[in-house]
Amino acid sequence: MNEHVSPDLIVEPGGADTKPATVKGGVHTPTNHDSAHKHVTGRAIYADDMALPEGALHAYLGLSTVASGTITSVDLSAVRAAPGVVGVLTARDMPASNDISPTHLHDEPVLADGEIHFHGQPVFAVIATSRDAARRAATKANISYAEAPFARTVDEAREQGLGLVTKPLTLERGNAQAGLAAAPRRIKGRYTIGGQDHLYLEGHIAVAIPGEDDDMTVTSSTQHPSEVQHMVAHVLGVPSAAVTVNVRRMGGGFGGKETQSNQFAAIAAVAARKFGVAVKIRPDRDDDMITTGKRHDFVVDYDVGFDETGRIEAVDATFAARCGFSADLSGPVTDRALFHADNTYYYPHVRLQSEPLKTNTVSNTAFRGFGGPQGLVVAERIIEEIAYALGEDPLTIRKRNFYGPKDDPEGRNITPYHQTVTDNIIERIVAELEQSSDYHARRDAILAFNARSPIIRKGIALTPVKFGISFTATWYNQAGALVHVYRDGSVHLNHGGTEMGQGLNTKVAQVVAETFQIDIDRVKITATTTDKVPNTSATAASSGSDLNGMAADNAANQIKDRLIDFAAEHYQVSREQVVFEPNVVRVGNQRIPFPDLVDQAYLKRIHLSAAGFYKTPDIHWDRDKGTGRPFYYFAYGAAVSEVSIDTLTGEYHVDRTDLLHDVGKSLNPAIDTGQVEGAFIQGLGWLTTEELWWDDKGRLRTHAPSTYKIPLASDRPAIFNTELVAWSVNQERTIRRSKAVGEPPFMLAASVVEALSMAVASVANYSVCPRLDTPCTPERILMAVERLKSDAA
């Protein structure tokens, strides 16, 4: 008997097997979010909860009061003389660079330098002994401007010829013009799609603490710590290795903290370097909303040809986006809008073009779905146009245009960007949802109800989702992780992803726990930091679990392999006889507690730490040619929504929604279900209640929860059924065969728009597809109803 093994752990031949069935918190189990109890009790530590070092200062931004023009004079004497003020930063105070552009275009300054591009652009930063003092002092500036004309919308940008902020994209297959000319039926239309503010619970914040030499440590509420690290280093003129960025958690991000954190971190770091003490910056909600980018709003002109059965033969569409004054992420966002303009539908001939227009508004940025939702709702609008033109149920037209299977004999499985759809499961999902939601009987009942109801009208719609998963910038599809196993068998986990409430840390910890076959409470989740895992990608594109889970699994398996080699040699058994079981390791005919085996390995000088790495295979993209395989796989889903509208006021309610969504083999069904429901509600807000509005001076007027309406608890569907597709397993080799869940279900909310469209169309006996732009506010519903009544009269 080995001296390290207790007699009661010997497994006698033919003896009872006493191992636990599973580890606690392994993958595919509904495990609690690691910080859920901290969130509800207030014990979760966010950046604003950190204790500041003695002598710390606070920064606040001074904003422009015109939408476009040139600064003619600046008098900040009253600002500097205000109580508590230590100093003021302007563009001239940036040590090495005044640029924080995430692109090669270098078109986004830290602070305005002569030119003003939008109302509310940061011009200076006050540094004071308290946040209140800095905020009050920022109002005392005396700045004069030579004002210039400005553009707030797509149409104004076109009229004024402001041009594009970045290079456009064209996706083309077949001959769209010839296909349109030959099609038996043809429809042209325009669809205006509104933007959206992120309205994360925790606003932007950064704390910078200077160290010796050039060192700078920054705590930032960011989805992209490595980019913040790079930008701070760039502005300070120091190597990236001198800057460490830490992120324990964010109170929401949704894409709004992918690039927008750069400015706040840079200002805090410059002030910390200049004054030699810690500096914190946290704008209030109004200034946060004024100075940070939104979801892009689009104006889409489309031309579609189809046959008498409703099958699409050709599509030609131009997607014009209001991008703001600089490129930011508008290039890839407008690209992804084109990538998803087909949704689940095959277009035999197609040409899709982007038009990323410059405007005198804050530069728009990433937002959950990253342009994909804007493309998808256009696809659904096209289907609706065809259905109303033919007098058909839109679901019938949807199904007739679905992509075919992998081996489709007609070749109906090629996207506009020439990627073959090999994992299509949308027909099965839709069929299951049709049955489980009792769609057809309910639609018949709604038609009967509308025929006898003079004021209240109802609508129902079933819409599908196909969403591509991967960064289209191929180099971002990589991740790193660091795993340590300590002598007591506890595990330290660090990875390059960031936790913003979506449960990423919990999922990655589940993966590590499963790999080692230990309970999840033995895995310590630690803050994301650039000095542990370098060169990380943003936590975005729904790829956080895919990338970081695989990297962590890679690191854990390196250590596991070493432990297997050690055990096989130490106990003189084959590697195949070393098996990790729940919280123990079976070595031959013995079971050794995991901590005991780890301790033995340590005593034999086995390396118990590993850096893991993963890069997504088999993806490539040639933007100039508009061809490639930008997505590793697709996530699918479908939704049925039923609504009621008041035709006298435009007021409406979502009466019922049924969701069926594909997450592959779910890593954590509880977290994934929450993500599906949360995404749907956020999508519902984008499409129905959330409206951005600028006045005639270029001022954003919807800059606080008092003027900007996100969905409330009362806005959720009265009946809300959510199911994950139980049988789906990712065909590709993803982490435990799961699929991404962050962005795809956002687009399930398109079902609400099309249900509203049916309710409105009922006033004209469903003979016309209503002109119903988003957001579908009560005002727009009422105007659409009145327009149809007027046309009918």
Query: Which residues are known catalytic residues?
Result: 743
| Distance (Å, whole) CA 735 – CA 217 | 33
Q: Which of 42, 48, 45 is nearest to 282 (CA)?
A: 48
Other C-beta atoms closer than 10 Å to the C-beta of 643 total 30
Q: Which of 7, 15, 29 is nearest to 582 (CA)?
A: 29
744 HSE (CA, 13 A, CB side):
30
Residue type, 500: M
Other C-beta atoms closer than 10 Å to the C-beta of 693 total 13
| Distance (Å, whole) CA 470 – CA 478 | 10
719-724, strands of its sheet edge to edge: 456-469, 633-646, 652-661, 719-724
Q: Which of 678, 695, 697, 787 is nearest to 741 (CA)?
A: 678
Tokens at 699, concatenated: 């001022």
Other C-beta atoms closer than 10 Å to the C-beta of 721 total 14
Contact (CB, 8 A) for 471 and 339: no
| Distance (Å, whole) CA 558 – CA 607 | 10
Residue with tokens 């732009």: 773
Other C-beta atoms closer than 10 Å to the C-beta of 435 total 10
Please, what is the Cα angle at 110 between 109 and 115, to 5 degrees? 45
- Local structure of 570: helix, strand or coil: helix
Angle between the N-to-C axes of helices 504-516 and 544-570, in degrees from 0 to 180, rounded to the nearest 10: 20
Cα 97 to the chain's mean position, in Å?
Answer: 29
Contact (CB, 8 A) for 571 and 503: no
| Distance (Å, whole) CA 187 – CA 753 | 20
Contact (CB, 8 A) for 316 and 176: yes
Q: Provide DSSP, 209-244.
A: EE-STT-EEEEE--S-HHHHHHHHHHHHTS-GGGEE
Contact (CB, 8 A) for 784 and 701: no
| Distance (Å, whole) CA 765 – CA 761 | 6
According to DSSP, the residues that pair with 304 across neighbouring strands are 187, 315
Torsions phi, psi for 49 (to 5 deg): -90, -10
CB contact burial 363-394 (16+ within 10 A = b; e otherwise): bbbbbbbbbbbbbbbbbbbbbbbbbbbbeebb
How is residue 679 annotated by DSSP? H
| Distance (Å, whole) CA 734 – CA 744 | 17
775 prior amide bond cis, ω within 30: yes
| Distance (Å, whole) CA 611 – CA 483 | 7
| Distance (Å, whole) CA 687 – CA 675 | 18
